[in-house]
Amino acid sequence: MDVGIGMIVFSNGLVSNAARWKPIKLARLIQKSAVLLFLGACRTMVLLYFDYPYDVEEYGMHWNFFYTLALVKLIGEFVASRLHVPYANAIVGVAIALAVQVFLQGEVQEYLFEEPTYREKGLFSLNREGIVSVVGCLAIFFIATDVGRLLYRCRRHRWNVAYIAKGIACLIIIMAVLCYGLDTYGLSPSRRIANSYYVFWIALLSLTDVFLLLVLTLIALCFYYRNGLDTNVRTEDHYYLYDGSLWQAINASGLSYFLLCNVFTGIVKMSTSTVERMSVETSLAVIFCYALATSLFARSQWGHLEAIRWRRMD
For 135-186, what is each residue's pLDDT tens digit?
999 999 999 999 998 888 766 655 567 778 788 888 999 999 999 999 988 8
Confidence at residue 124, expressed as pLDDT on a 0 to 100 scale:
76
d(CA 224, CA 68): 42
Q: Is 205 part of a structural domain of the chain?
A: yes
Q: Three-state SS string across 213-279, please? A: HHHHHHHHHHHHHHCCCCCCCCHHHCHHHCCCCHHHHHHHCHHHHHHHHHHHHHHHHHHCCCCCCCC
Residue finishing a domain among 189, 215, 233: 233
* 233, 253, 272 - which closes a domain: 233
Residue 41 within a domain: yes
The confidence score (pLDDT) of residue 307 equals 54
Q: Cα–Cα distance between 296 and 249 in angstroms, integer? A: 10
pLDDT in tens, 26-42: 888 898 889 889 988 88
**Amino acid 247: pLDDT:** 72
274 has pLDDT over 60: no
Looking at the structure, tell me whether residues 72 and 164 fall in a common domain: yes
Given a cut of 80, is residue 80 above it in pLDDT?
Answer: yes
Query: Does one domain contain both 182 and 256?
Result: no
The one-letter code for the residue type at 106 is G
Judge if 68 and 151 occupy the same domain. yes
Average pLDDT over residues 119-134: 79
Please report the DSSP string for the chain in residue order.
-HHHHHHHHHHHHHTSTTTTTPPP-HHHHHHHHHHHHHHHHHHHHHHHHTT----HHHH-SS--HHHHHHHHHHHHHHHHTT--STTHHHHHHHHHHHHHHHHTTTHHHHHHT--GGGPPSSHHHHTHHHHHHHHHHHHHHHHHHHHHHHHHHHHHS---HHHHHHHHHHHHHHHHHHHHHHHHTT----TTTT-HHHHHHHHHHHHHHHHHHHHHHHHHHHHHHHTT---SS-GGGTGGGTTTSHHHHHHHTHHHHHHHHHHHHHHHHHHS-SSSPPPHHHHHHHHHHHHHHHHHHHHHHHHHHHHHHHHHH-
Cα R_g (the chain), whole angstroms: 21
The answer on pLDDT for 243 being more than 60 is no
Which percentage of the chain shows pLDDT scores above 90? 18
Within a domain: residue 65? yes
- Please identify, among 233, 257, 282, the residue that sits at the C-terminal boundary of a domain: 233
The answer to which of 83-92, 161-170, 181-190, 217-226 has the lowest mean pLDDT is 217-226
Task: Judge if 156 and 177 occupy the same domain.
Answer: yes
User: How would you classify residue 244: left for phi > 0, otherwise alpha for psi between -120 and 50, otherwise beta?
Assistant: left
- 194-205 b/e (C-beta count within 10 Å ≥ 16 → b): bbbbbbbbbbbb
- pLDDT (0 to 100) of residue 203: 94
Average pLDDT, the chain: 80
Regarding whether 35 and 111 lie in a shared domain, the answer is yes
| Same domain, yes or no: 48 and 185 | yes
The answer to the question of residue 108 being in a domain is yes
Domain assignment of residue 250, given as a range: 243-313
pLDDT at 227: 54
Q: Residue 171 to residues 83, 103, 193, 195: CA-CA distances in angstroms?
A: 19, 25, 24, 19
Structural domain includes residue 63: yes
Question: Do 200 and 266 belong to one domain?
Answer: no
**C-alpha span between 306 and 298 (Å, rounded):** 12
Q: Is residue 152 part of a domain?
A: yes
pTM check: above 0.75: yes
**190, 93: one domain:** yes
Query: What integer pLDDT is reported at residue 106 of this predicted model?
Result: 73
For the cut 70, the answer to whether the pLDDT of residue 123 exceeds it is yes
211 and 248 in a single domain? The answer is no
Is it the case that residue 232 has pLDDT exceeding 50? no
Question: Which tops the pLDDT comparison, 176 or 25?
Answer: 176
Is residue 238 included in any domain, yes or no? Answer: no
Position 231 pLDDT exceeds 70: no
C-alpha triplet 106, 176, 188: angle, nearest 5° = 30
Q: Say whether both 143 and 181 belong to one domain.
A: yes
Position 212 in a domain: yes
Cβ atoms of residues 64 and 40 within 8 Å: yes
Q: Are the CB atoms for 61 and 119 separated by under 8 Å?
A: no
Q: Is residue 175 domain-shared with residue 136, that is, in the same domain?
A: yes
- pLDDT, one tens digit per residue, over 42-66 is 888 887 777 766 667 677 778 888 8
The domain tally of the chain equals 2
Same domain, 145 and 262: no
Q: How confident is the model at residue 116 (pLDDT cuts 50, 70, 90)?
A: low
Return the C-alpha torsion angle 263, 268, 273, 275, nearest 10. Answer: -70
Q: Which residue type, as a one-letter code, is found at position 15?
A: V
